[in-house]
Amino acid sequence: MNKLYGIKALAFDAYGTVFDVHSVVALANKMYPGKGEELSRLWRSKQMEYMFLRTVMGRYIPHGENNEAALIYAMKFLKLNGGIKERALLINAYETLELFDDAKRTIPMLSNFKKSILSVGTPALIRRLVENAGIESNFEELLSVDEVKVYKPHPRTYQLIIDKLQLLRQEVGFVTSNYYDVIGAKAFGFQAIWINRNNVIPDELGLCPNIELKSMDLMPNIFG
Amino acid sequence: MNKLYGIKALAFDAYGTVFDVHSVVALANKMYPGKGEELSRLWRSKQMEYMFLRTVMGRYIPHGENNEAALIYAMKFLKLNGGIKERALLINAYETLELFDDAKRTIPMLSNFKKSILSVGTPALIRRLVENAGIESNFEELLSVDEVKVYKPHPRTYQLIIDKLQLLRQEVGFVTSNYYDVIGAKAFGFQAIWINRNNVIPDELGLCPNIELKSMDLMPNIFG
């Protein structure tokens, strides 16, 4: 296996990397039998599309609002009945997502590194996620793109890590399952660690991760 | 029906609005029986995703290259055999897309307006499309985002129209079938005319078109 050298800090993406965005499927299936998975997938993909579009247009809104807009679209598209009350239930589940098992096992083991989270969530959303999962003591910084009012993969978001930690870009290992975030982090100059749990194929965006892992369980062995 | 007032010029999106991006399906189905539609859809959606992502990252590449990257991804994802030769055939079809019938009938009838195209294609790609379809005499300007090195819906792309035509923003009617482009044009200050041929639901991005039409055939009647 490849080894990564010179890393002093690890920054983690939250949604989809540390937290399983599809842990809302169970609730969604209770509310809309047989439709939970489709709703979760469309909700997530619209969230991301809206983040990219709003960043391109210079019309940032906080992730909570963007998330609700994506949910409204997904419910309309799938012709699911529901209003404020149903959305509130689903959004509450989204704000208390479950940890991936490998993240739960691995993050506390990576004690040689300063650890932080850089998320598209607002500070309040990130704090709620992390505290609900009981992992807050692992992180020195919880960083939110809300501070710069653009979404990832805009370079200004990754700069937040450098500004807080005062490290060189190549001293940061950026851990993410989202390929657009892999590319954004790599383009910025971080060492990109792609957690590819579902064995998806990479996008053709002209850059690659420094290392690809099927699980975070492999992380303790990658540092040279 | 709503009427639009004060419009002096009409700017048209090309891909998906004047030209049918899915006219490659026939060739794709010949090459990959039964897979043409799926290939065309995934190719198109990846094209757009890559445009947005590259704009967010500040890593613009010309549409021809981006288009080929999206095709490479789509073929890999669908496990379709093919290399440079197969891609060249499909890309050639994409560079000579068919006109939508309603566009063919309507554009020549809109003789009271200065007409232009604003496309994500490079100048050479736009010229080839328009000349292949025999509609070049209808347009005073063929404008390409390549001049500003960002993709739509970045406001700098819509500014190209203002710079060339020297009109006020609200004097421009922007005609597009792509909802992200509706929103981008509206956010910029144009009057947005959404050609919604397939009766899709609008995205939840906080802005609406000035008018929604099921076909360009209705366009001659919308001006007050």
Q: What is the pLDDT of residues B41-61, one digit of tens each?
A: 999 999 999 999 999 999 999
Which CATH class for the B9-18+100-221 domain?
Answer: alpha beta
B44 touches chain A (CB under 8 A): no
pLDDT at A15: 96
Confidence tier at A74 by pLDDT (50, 70, 90): very high
Out of A72, A154, A204, closest to residue B70 by CB = A204
The pLDDT of B156-168, averaged and rounded, is 97
What are the boundaries of each domain within chain B? 9-18+100-221, 21-94
Looking at chain B, the whole-number percentage of residues with pLDDT higher than 70 is 100
pLDDT at A135: 97
Out of B54, B77, B201, closest to residue A76 by CB = B201
The pLDDT of B162-185, averaged and rounded, is 97
The pLDDT of B76-90, averaged and rounded, is 96
Quick check: is B181 catalytic?
no
Tens of pLDDT, residue by residue over B187-216, are 999 999 999 999 999 999 999 999 999 999
Does residue A1 register a pLDDT over 80?
no
Confidence tier at A83 by pLDDT (50, 70, 90): very high
The pLDDT of A78-101, averaged and rounded, is 96
Does residue A129 register a pLDDT over 80?
yes
Does residue B1 register a pLDDT over 80?
no
Q: What global pTM score does this model have?
A: 0.96
The reply to whether residue A201 touches residue B77, judged by beta carbons under 8 angstroms, is yes
- Specify the CATH architecture of the domain B21-94: Orthogonal Bundle (1.10)
Q: Characterize the bridge pairing of strands A19-20 and A98-99.
A: antiparallel
Confidence tier at A2 by pLDDT (50, 70, 90): confident
Does residue B124 register a pLDDT over 80?
yes
Shortest CA gap B137–chain A (Å): 32
The reply to whether residue A57 touches residue B153, judged by beta carbons under 8 angstroms, is yes
From chain B, pick out residues whose CB is under 8 angstroms from the CB of A153.
53, 56-57
What is the complex's ipTM, to 2 decimals?
0.96
The reply to whether residue A205 touches residue B53, judged by beta carbons under 8 angstroms, is yes
State the Cα–Cα distance between residues B116 and B127, nearest whole angstrom. Answer: 12
From chain A, pick out residues whose CB is under 8 angstroms from the CB of B206.
59, 61, 69
DSSP letters for chain A: ---B-S--EEEE--BTTTEEGGGGHHHHHHHSTTTHHHHHHHHHHHHHHHHHHHHHHT----HHHHHHHHHHHHHHHTT----HHHHHHHHHHHTTPEEPHHHHHHGGG-TTSEEEEEESS-HHHHHHHHHHHT-GGG-SEEEEGGGTT--TTSHHHHHHHHHHH---GGGEEEEES-HHHHHHHHHHTPEEEEE-TT-PPPP-SS---SEEES-GGGGGG-B-
Tens of pLDDT, residue by residue over A104-122, are 999 999 999 999 999 999 9
Q: In this predicted model, which residue has the larger pLDDT, B73 or A224?
A: B73
From chain B, pick out residues whose CB is under 8 angstroms from the CB of A49.
49, 52, 203
Tens of pLDDT, residue by residue over A156-176, are 999 999 999 999 999 999 999
pLDDT at B82: 92
Q: Which residue from B96, B112, B84, B76 is spatially nearest to B27, judged by alpha carbons?
A: B96
Does residue A190 register a pLDDT over 80?
yes
Out of B57, B150, B154, closest to residue A153 by CB = B57
Active site residues of A: 13
